[in-house]
Amino acid sequence: MPTQILEKTPLWTLYIDGASSNKGSGAGLILTDSDGEEITYALRFEFPASNNEAKYKALIAGLELAIKMEVHHMQVLSDSLLVTNHMKGSYEAREESMKRYLAKVTWMNPIVKYLKDGQLPDDPIDEVHFRSCGAHAGARDIAQKVVQLGYYWPTMYQDATHVVSTCRTCQEHTPILRKPQYDMTSIYSSWPFYQWGIGIVGPFPEAPGRVKFLVVAIDYFTKWVEAAPLATTTMTNILKFVWTNIVCRFGISGIINPPPRTQNEIRKVKRPVGGRIVKCAMGIRHGSKSRELTALREAKYKHQMEQYYNQKVRHRHLKVEDYVLRKNESSRQEGQKKLDPNWEGPYQVLEAKHPGTYIFADMHGKPIPRTWHASNLRKFYF
């Protein structure tokens, strides 16, 4: 209530006292208005109570009487140092009974502090979620615990959901979702059978010319075989075989598939042959109708697989300047033990490449090397 209104409001005075003995306990109070009119009230307790509890009972009864009398401005006088200093905050209530009495008497203090100083009381949701006894539980469990503590408001579940979704610890330990996040994009080949498979066999016992390896190329469709002996399996010898036995005789193949080898060897074999990039199709004219039907069936099967896969997709779109967490099992920035976080960060998205791939930086603005797919990311909320 504003000060100028309090100054015009009559001041009431409440005198309280209480006592306890082996014969019983009781309390008395006197409520006096600004003109000196007195209202007296006496209480006798039918349960055992200490002196301090009797004085608290007298205080509670006096406050209830003041509410009935519509008193707006009142001072309380008591000879109990414990009660008065509890209300002022000078003493700490240690006994459970004193804590309950104090909570009942001072329930309005947070409201008074907010009206006078703009200071909000402690949020019960934060108390349940973040304090020493908090288990970082879900929103439903938090709301139930808050209700058990005696609180309720209509948006309690929504507020608990917001607290959980913005809690950094909860976000870092969120279980990793295994559902896909982007639609499947199938890769269709215009000429799926215009390919050669190439492999190296050996070493065999050394033959004249010191040859001991055999390089073999097979056309995927006609099953035509080309082979040549080699002394060494160097890049130069392999490219010479491809140029002489395949390119010069059949034209440039659509794809040449090397056998499973090291990445460095595969990269070397797939280099341009004779200065021309291996992109064109091999000129095989036989069986074109069969190849077309097979290609149509392949496209049909891929389309059906896309539909089945996309039903499970849980779309998650990130924008530039969004904050994200990165999957820890992919980045390995944190420990990999059971209780270590599943996610680490946060990072800020700098650029979105093709759908689902992003470049981001840490909180100091330092870019993170290479792009990262959305399957390794999740949005972070402050």
Q: What angle do CA 17, 22, 23 make, to 5 degrees?
A: 80
> Cα separation of 120 and 132, whole Å?
21
pLDDT at 70: 83
pTM above 0.95, yes or no: no
Strands 195-201 and 255-257: parallel
CATH of 322-379, one of 3.40.50.720, 2.130.10.10, 3.80.30.20, 2.30.30.140: 2.30.30.140
Residues of the chain with pLDDT under 70: 1-8, 85-95, 97-110, 112, 132-134, 188-194, 221, 251-291, 329-337
pLDDT of residue 341: 76
Looking at residue 6, what is its pLDDT?
A: 47
Range 195-263+283-310: architecture per CATH: 2-Layer Sandwich (3.30)
Residue with tokens 């420990």: 335
Q: Name the token pair of 48.
A: 């055992």
pLDDT of residue 152: 84
User: Could you tell me where in the chain the CATH 3.30.420.10 domains are found?
Assistant: 12-117, 195-263+283-310
Identify the CATH assignment for 12-117 out of 3.30.420.10, 3.40.50.300, 3.40.309.10, 3.30.70.20. Answer: 3.30.420.10
| E strand or H helix that includes residue 265 | helix 263-269
Neighbours of 55 (CB within 10 A): 24
Q: Which two tokens stand for residue 24?
A: 């019983």
- Position 57 scores a pLDDT of 79
